[in-house]
Amino acid sequence: MAYPQNLQPWAVNHIVPPTQWVIIGRYCTRSHPEGHLQLWRQGVPDTQFELVFDLPDRKNYRDFPLDQLTH
């Protein structure tokens, strides 16, 4: 996973039937994607979106800047 993605672990996914999804935004804190998720759901009501915490690969955990999660 690229370094900038480590700084933005929160993601809003667009669910594409039947079992696929596409990340439409990445964020540093949980509050930002929650607001954007509401806007997406209101603007496109017939589409499914979800908020996820997308951690880096397990082999890279020690390189993950954990202090970024508290900001």
Q: Is the pLDDT of residue 70 over 50?
A: no
Q: Is the pLDDT of residue 39 over 70?
A: yes
When pLDDT is cut at 50, 70 and 90, the band that residue 69 belongs to is: very low
C-beta of residue 34 within 8 angstroms of C-beta of residue 51: yes
pTM above 0.75, yes or no: no
β-pairing verdict for 20-27 and 48-53: unpaired
Decide: helix, strand or coil at residue 11.
strand
Give residue 52's identity as a one-letter amino acid code: V
Decide: helix, strand or coil at residue 32.
helix
Specify the pLDDT at position 46.
93
Q: Is the pLDDT of residue 12 over 80?
A: yes
Q: Is the pLDDT of residue 42 over 90?
A: yes
